[in-house]
Chain A
Amino acid sequence: MTGALTLLRALLHRAGTTVVILVVALCATAAATVGPTYYVAARHSILQDTLTATSVVGRGFQAVRQGPVQSSIGALDSNVTHELDQALGGPATVRRVFAPAVLALEATAFFPNLGENVPLVWRTDVCAHLRFRSGRCGTATGEVAVSASLAALNHWQTGQRVQAARGGPLTISGIYLPPDASGDYWFSRGGVYFPAEIPIAQAAPYDALFTPHATIDVLSGNPQGSTVIARALDVPRVTPADVDALGRLDSRLNNASLLNGVAVATGLSSTVDTVHSSWSSLSVPVIVVTAELLVLTWLLLFLVVTDAVEARGTEIALAKLRGYGAARAFFFGLGEPLTLLALALPAGAVIGWALTGVLSHVLLRAGTPVPLPGLGWAGATAAAAGGVAAVVVAARTTLTRPVVEQWRRTGRKATDRGWVFDAVVLTGAAAGLAQLLIGGSLGSAKHSALALLVPGLLGLAIAVVGSRLLPVICRAWFARTRRRGGLGPFLAVRHIARRPGGTRTTMILATAVALATFSLAAWSVASNNRARVAEVTVGAPTVFSVAPDIRTDLGAVVDHIDPGGHAASAVETFNSGQSVLVAVQPQRFAAVAHWKAGFVSAPAALLGGLHPPAPDPVVLQGDKVRVHLDVNTLQPAADRLSLDIVATGASSPTPIDLGVITRQHVSITRVGSLAGCPCTVRDLQFSPPASRPGQITGDVTLTGLEVLRAGSWQSVPHALDAGQWSDTADQQVAADGNGQQVHWSFFAVIGIPPTLSIHDRPDPLPAVAASAIAGNDSTLTLSGLDGADLTVAVTGRVANVPAAPANGVVVDLTYAERAAFGNLGPATAQVWVRGDRERIRRGLQAAHIPILSTRTSAEADAELTRQGPGLASVLFLADAGAAAVLAALAAVLSLSAAARRRRYEYAALAATGASRRTLFTALVLEQLVVVGFGALTGVGAGLLAVVIAGRSVPEFVVAPVAALLRYGPSPLLMVLALGGGFVLLLTSAGLAAAALLRSVTAEQLREAPA
C-alpha cells in the first residue's frame, strides 16, 4: 500500500520518462494486438468478399437426380440434409450457414398438336420469383403459369385450357414475364427454364410451365425428369470457422453412398481454395510486420528503460543501503517500468483493438465484425513479456552495481560493453539477410512475404554501423570545431562524440525510418500496380454489361446517347480462351478506355487505322429476291447456284436456292424467297452436286440484283458497285465503272465451290493487338464475334489491351459485326463509360437496353486492396509509420532528457557570458545531427532494401500479367512523405531545444550534477 503510493509518486515525479515508457509500451502491446486482430477481421472480410464475388455455384451446391419425379423429393432432401449435418457438425450449423433449400421437380409436358416439348416445373416458392403480365401463379392442381414468349408463340390466353400428352388438361392461370435468372434463387437453372431468352439456345426454345407440386404428382406413369435440391450459403452468416468443412463438402456429397446416382454440382471447394490462398497471403506478412515492429519497440523499450533505471541509480543504492534484498531491490528499481507494462497490456490491447477498428472500417468490407480475439490478447501478452525481458536486461547493470559505485565511480573501470550488443544485433541481421538471399526468398520471380524482413534486417545492420560511425565523425569534427567555429557547434559535437547512448537512439531511429521508407515505397508500388491491374482488367472507369435486342445497333445507340464521343463506347467482346476480340468504336474507345495503365500515350493515333473506308453491306429487305446473270462459260454445266444471305442475328447463313444452271452462253434470271429479313448478302455460290465433285471453272457476269417490295421489283442500291464483290480464291472479279454489272471468272480448286463474296469490310481486319499475342506476326487468325475464325492484320501493338491485357485484339466494331455477319450471339455486349455513368445509364434505359451488370475499375481496385497482400501493405505502412514516429519521438525526448541533465552546464555557460543564441545553436545542432543522421541513414537503408527486395513483396493473390507491373515507387509521394517527415522531425527537435533553453536559468547552478 505504502509501496504503491511511493511508486505513484515516483511515476509522477518522472512524468516525462513515465510518459515515454508508457507510450513505447503501449505501442508495443498495441502493435502486437493490431496484427492478429486485424488478421482475424481481415479473414472474415476476405471470406465474405470471396463468397460474394463468386457465382451462386461457387457458394452453394445443387444436387440433381435423374429418374421418375413423383415422390422422389422427400428421400433426396433427407439424404442431402443428413450428409450436410454430418459434414458441418450438426443441423444448427447447417441452418445457420445455408439459406433454406430450394427444391424442384422438372418434368416435361408434350403438346402433340403443337409438337412442343415444354418443361413442366414445380419449384419451391416460385410464385414469389415471377412477375405476371396477366393472371396469377398456379395454385391448384393442373394450373400452370406460361411465359410471355410461349404464350405469344402459341397464341395462348390466361384461363385457356391446353391439352398435354400425359395427364389431364392444364389451365393457364397466368402469363409471366421471364425473370432475370441470374439470381441465386434460380441457381443457374435459367438455361433450363427460360431457353427462349438465351440468344443461342440449343434446346427447344420453350420457356417452362410453372405449376404446383400436385400437378406433377398426378401425371400418369411417373414420368422421367430431374429432382433438384439447390442450397446457397447465407453469406453474411458464414464465418471463417466454417470454411474448412465447406471445402470438404464437395467430395463428401459426391462420394456419399446415400447420394449414389445424384449429381452434385458445386464450386465450393475452389472457392474455399481461393479463400485460403488469400488468407495465407495475409498471414505471413502480418506475422513478419508485427514481429518487426515488436522487436523495434522492444529495443526502444530497452533504451528508454536503460536511461530510466540509470536515472534511478541513487535511489536503488539507497534501497540497498536500507537493507533491501535482491528481490525487493529489483521490484523497487523496476517498479515503474513493470507497472507501466502491466498497465500497457490491457490498455495497449484495447488501443490496438480500437485502431484495428478504424483500419478495418477504412479497409475491410463494410460491416466486418472486429472482435478482440484471443490471438490479439496473446499478441499483447507476448509483447508485454518481451517488454519485461527488455526491461530486465536494460536494468541489469544498474541493479547489480555495488552501492558505493553508484555514489563514487570506484574500482572497476567503466567498460563500454555496448559493442557486445551491437555485435549480436549485427550478426543476427547479417545472418538473416544471408538466409534470405541464399535461401532464394528474394528475386523477382519468387514473391515471398519474407521479403518484408529485408528492410528490418538491412536497416538494423546499416543502423548499427552508422550509429558507430556518428561519434567517430563527430570526434573528427570536434577537432575542427575546437580550432575554429563557434561555441555552439563545439558543444553540440562534443556531446555527441561522448555519448554512446545518443547513438543507440540513432540506431533505432534509423531502423524505424528504414522500415517506414520501405513500407511507403512498397505501398506506393503495390497500390499503383493494383490500380493499374484494376484499370486494365476492367478496361474503363465503368463497364456496363448490356443485353441489347438482336436487332438493336448498340453503336448507333451509344452515338445517340453520347454525341460528344468522349464518354461512352459500345464494345463487343468474344473470348475464345486463347484470344479476346475486343470490337470497339475506335475514337470513342480511345477516349474512354484506361490506356495509361497499358503504357499507351496516344491511343487515338494508335486506333486511328482500325476503320479504313469499305463498301457498305448489301442488305435485302422484301418478299423475294431476283438475280440476273449472264453465264458466259460454266464448266461443267449443271451446277447449282445459290445466294447465301444472313438474317439479322441468325447464327448461320441461309442459302437461297436459285436452281441448277444447265447451259452456257445464256442470260438467266432467277428468283428466291426471303424470310426473316432484313438480310445481309453474304455470297453467291456455285456448288457441284455431291455425287459429282470436281473442278469448276467459269465466267459469268452479274447484271442485276433486285428485291420484290410492295409488289414491285427494285434494284438493290450499290449492289453492283466496284469493289463490292470479291473472290478471295481467284481474284478474277471486275466491275464496270457505273455499277451496272460485275464480271466474275473463276477456276476453283476441287472441293471448294467457287464463291463470289460480298466485300463490305477490310479483309484482313486491321487490328491493334497485345504484344504478347501478336508477337512478330503481321496477321493473326483468331475468333471473331461469332466464334468463327477471323483473320486480322496487326497494325499496332500495345503492351496491355484494356480488359484483356495479354491476349486482347482490338478491332473496329462495325467491321467485326460485318465479319460475323451480324451474328453477335456468342459475343458479350458492353458499354464502356468514362465520366458521368448515370447519364449513360439513363440513356441506355431510355433506349430499352437492359443493363445486366455494372463493373467499375475503382471497385476492382478496392477489391484487390481488400485481398491479403493489399491489406498487409497497409498494415505494414501503418505499423512502420507508427514505429518511425515513435522512434523519432523517443530520439528527441532522449536527447532532451540528456541535455536536461546538463542544464547546469548551460546555465553556467550563460552565467559566464555565452549568448542564448549560441546555446540554442548548440542544443538544436546536437538534436539535428543525431536525429538527422539517423533519419538519413534510415532513408538510405530503406531505399537500398527497396532495390534489393522491392520486387519480391507480394502484391496479388493471383499474379497478374507481368507486363503490367512496375516497381518504381511514386517519386512525388516519396519526396513529399519523407520531406514532410523530415520537416516534422526538425521542427520537433527545434521545439524541444527551445523548450529546454527556456528552462535553463540561474537556478540550475544550485543543482549538483547527478
Chain B
Amino acid sequence: MNVDVAVRCDNLVHVYGTPGAEVAALRGVDLVVKEGETVALLGPSGAGKTTLLWHLAGLLKPTAGAVEVAGKRLATLSAAELAVLRVREIGVVLQNPGRNLLPYDTAIGNLLFAQRPTRRSGAAKRRRAHALLDSVGLGGAATRRAGRLSGGEQQRLAVAVALANSPGLLLADEPTSQLDPVSAAAVIDLIRAANEESGTTVVAVSHDAAVGAALGRTVTIRDGRVGSEGRSGEDYVVVGRDGTVQLPPEMLDTLPPGTLARAVRHDHGVDLRRIYDAGESQ
C-alpha cells in the first residue's frame, strides 16, 4: 500500500437503478491521485463526474471495483469508521450550492456545525472558523444567515466549510458553477491555497476551463470512463484496461465514429490510420 497515494480507483463500476432500469454511470474507472496533487475532473454532463466524486467521499457502494482513500478501502469500512474518515480526511463541496449549508444558520454557525464532530476546543473551533471566513473574504458576514448570502458568497462559504476540519482530501463538485470570473478566481485561489499551505489533495469537478488550468492535472471522464488526462497543458489519452482508448473530441473529425482504422505499432506507441472502404470516395 502506497501511503503517498491519496485516492485510488480500481476498475470502479457503478450502476444506478434496479434490475431492468439500469444506468451504468461508471464503467471501470482507474484513477490514482497522489497526496498533494490537485486534479480537475472534466467531462460532459452526465459523464459520471459527480458519481465518481461521491465514491471518493464514500457515499456510494461500488457495483464493482474498489476505491481507496488515505490508504483505506472504503467498501470495507463500517458506517462509524466512514464517519471518522469523513471528519478527519474528507471535505466535500456539493454540486447544488444550497445543499452545502444550513440556510437558517449563520455563516459562522455553518462552520461550527461542520467542526462539531472534531475534538477541538470550542475556542479553537471558533478561531478556525473566523480564519476561514477571513480567508474566503466573508469576515464581515460571520453572523449573516447562510440562506441570505448571495450565490457566490454561498459557494465560497461552502468551500470554507469543506475545509473546516483541514481535510487531507478536498472533493469539490462544480465549486465555481454560479460565479462570475472574479469570484470564481477567488474560489480557485482558495482551493490552491489550501493545497499549497496544508498539502491538501484536491479533486474538483468543473466545466470551467479556468479550474482546469489552475489545477495540476486534468482528468476527463467520458461515458463513465477516464477518457484523457492533461498535465502541464498537454493532453494525453488514457489506455483503458480492455485496451480502449477515447480519442479527444477534436480528433473525431479525422476519425469519425464508425470509421475503420489500422493500429500500427512503432517504438514508442501505436499510430491509428484511417482505412478507406472500397465504396467510399477519398
Question: Hey, which bits of chain A sit against chain B, CB under 8 A?
Answer: 1-3, 5-6, 9-10, 12-14, 314-315, 318-326, 328, 402-404, 407, 410-413, 1008
- Residues of B within 8 Å of A413, CB to CB, are 18
B86, CB-defined interface residue at 8 Å: yes
Q: A3-B116, A10-B104, A404-B60 are in contact. Are A324 and B83 (CB under 8 A)?
A: yes
| Residue on B nearest A7 in the bound complex, by CB | B105
Of B60, B79, B96, B105, the residue contacting A9 (CB under 8 A) is: B105
Does A9 lie within 8 Å of B109, measured CB to CB?
yes
Does B102 lie within 8 Å of A6, measured CB to CB?
yes
B57, CB-defined interface residue at 8 Å: yes
Does B104 lie within 8 Å of A318, measured CB to CB?
no
The CA of A323 and the CA of B86, in the complex, are separated in Å by 5
Name the 4 nearest CB pairs between A and B, nearest first.
A323-B87, A13-B104, A323-B86, A2-B112
Does A320 lie within 8 Å of B83, measured CB to CB?
yes
Q: A1-B122, A12-B104, A13-B103 are in contact. Are A326 and B116 (CB under 8 A)?
A: no
Contact with A along B1-23 (1 / 0, CB 8 A): 00000000000000011100000
- Residues of B within 8 Å of A411, CB to CB, are 16-18
The CA of A843 and the CA of B103, in the complex, are separated in Å by 81
The CA of A535 and the CA of B102, in the complex, are separated in Å by 67
The CA of A323 and the CA of B114, in the complex, are separated in Å by 8
| Residue on B nearest A12 in the bound complex, by CB | B104
- Residues of A within 8 Å of B84, CB to CB, are 323, 325
The CA of A314 and the CA of B87, in the complex, are separated in Å by 18
Does A2 lie within 8 Å of B116, measured CB to CB?
yes
Choose among A5, A6, A412, A413 the residue with the greatest number of B CB atoms under 10 Å from its CB: A6
Question: In whole Å, how far is B107's beta carbon from the nearest beta carbon of chain A?
Answer: 12
The CA of A2 and the CA of B106, in the complex, are separated in Å by 11
Of B16, B96, B122, the residue contacting A2 (CB under 8 A) is: B122
Could you tell me which residues of chain B, from 62 to 90, have a CB within 8 Å of some CB in chain A? Answer: 79-80, 83-88, 90
Choose among B87, B100, B116 the residue with the greatest number of A CB atoms under 10 Å from its CB: B116
The CA of A1008 and the CA of B96, in the complex, are separated in Å by 11
| Residue on B nearest A412 in the bound complex, by CB | B18
- Residues of B within 8 Å of A410, CB to CB, are 16-17
- 13 further A-B contacts with Cβ under 8 Å, apart from A2-B109, A6-B105, A321-B59, are A2-B122, A6-B113, A9-B106, A14-B104, A318-B100, A320-B83, A322-B86, A323-B117, A325-B80, A325-B83, A403-B59, A407-B94, A407-B99
Choose among B16, B113, B122 the residue with the greatest number of A CB atoms under 10 Å from its CB: B113
- Residues of A within 8 Å of B145, CB to CB, are 9
Does A6 lie within 8 Å of B109, measured CB to CB?
yes
| Residue on B nearest A14 in the bound complex, by CB | B104
| Residue on B nearest A410 in the bound complex, by CB | B16
B54, CB-defined interface residue at 8 Å: yes
Question: In whole Å, how far is A973's beta carbon from the nearest beta carbon of chain B?
Answer: 48
> What number of A-B contacts does a CB cutoff of 8 Å give?
85
The CA of A403 and the CA of B58, in the complex, are separated in Å by 10
24 A–B contacts, CB within 8 A, in A order: A6-B102, A6-B105, A14-B104, A319-B113, A321-B94, A322-B87, A322-B117, A323-B83, A323-B84, A323-B85, A323-B86, A323-B87, A323-B88, A324-B116, A325-B84, A326-B80, A328-B116, A328-B117, A402-B59, A404-B59, A404-B60, A407-B96, A411-B18, A413-B18
- Residues of A within 8 Å of B106, CB to CB, are 9
Choose among A2, A14, A326 the residue with the greatest number of B CB atoms under 10 Å from its CB: A2
Does B113 lie within 8 Å of A322, measured CB to CB?
yes
Does B57 lie within 8 Å of A321, measured CB to CB?
yes
* Chief secondary structure at chain A's binding surface: helix
Of B79, B109, B161, the residue contacting A5 (CB under 8 A) is: B109
Question: In whole Å, how far is B79's beta carbon from the nearest beta carbon of chain A?
Answer: 7
The CA of A709 and the CA of B191, in the complex, are separated in Å by 137
Question: In whole Å, how far is A323's beta carbon from the nearest beta carbon of chain B?
Answer: 3
- Residues of B within 8 Å of A322, CB to CB, are 86-87, 113-114, 116-117, 161
Does A315 lie within 8 Å of B83, measured CB to CB?
no
- Residues of B within 8 Å of A314, CB to CB, are 99
The CA of A359 and the CA of B16, in the complex, are separated in Å by 61
Question: In whole Å, how far is B127's beta carbon from the nearest beta carbon of chain A?
Answer: 13
The CA of A6 and the CA of B109, in the complex, are separated in Å by 7
Does B102 lie within 8 Å of A315, measured CB to CB?
yes
Question: In whole Å, how far is B80's beta carbon from the nearest beta carbon of chain A?
Answer: 6
Could you tell me which residues of chain B, from 88 to 136, have a CB within 8 Å of some CB in chain A? Answer: 88, 90, 92, 94, 96, 98-100, 102-106, 109, 112-114, 116-117, 122, 125
The CA of A1008 and the CA of B87, in the complex, are separated in Å by 30
| Residue on B nearest A325 in the bound complex, by CB | B83
The CA of A411 and the CA of B16, in the complex, are separated in Å by 6
| Residue on A nearest B104 in the bound complex, by CB | A13
The CA of A6 and the CA of B99, in the complex, are separated in Å by 16
The CA of A318 and the CA of B100, in the complex, are separated in Å by 7
Question: In whole Å, how far is B178's beta carbon from the nearest beta carbon of chain A?
Answer: 13
- Residues of B within 8 Å of A320, CB to CB, are 83
Question: In whole Å, how far is B93's beta carbon from the nearest beta carbon of chain A?
Answer: 10
Does B86 lie within 8 Å of A318, measured CB to CB?
no
- Residues of A within 8 Å of B103, CB to CB, are 13
The CA of A321 and the CA of B90, in the complex, are separated in Å by 9
The CA of A375 and the CA of B54, in the complex, are separated in Å by 53
The CA of A2 and the CA of B102, in the complex, are separated in Å by 14
Of A14, A315, A324, A404, the residue contacting B54 (CB under 8 A) is: A404
- Residues of A within 8 Å of B57, CB to CB, are 321
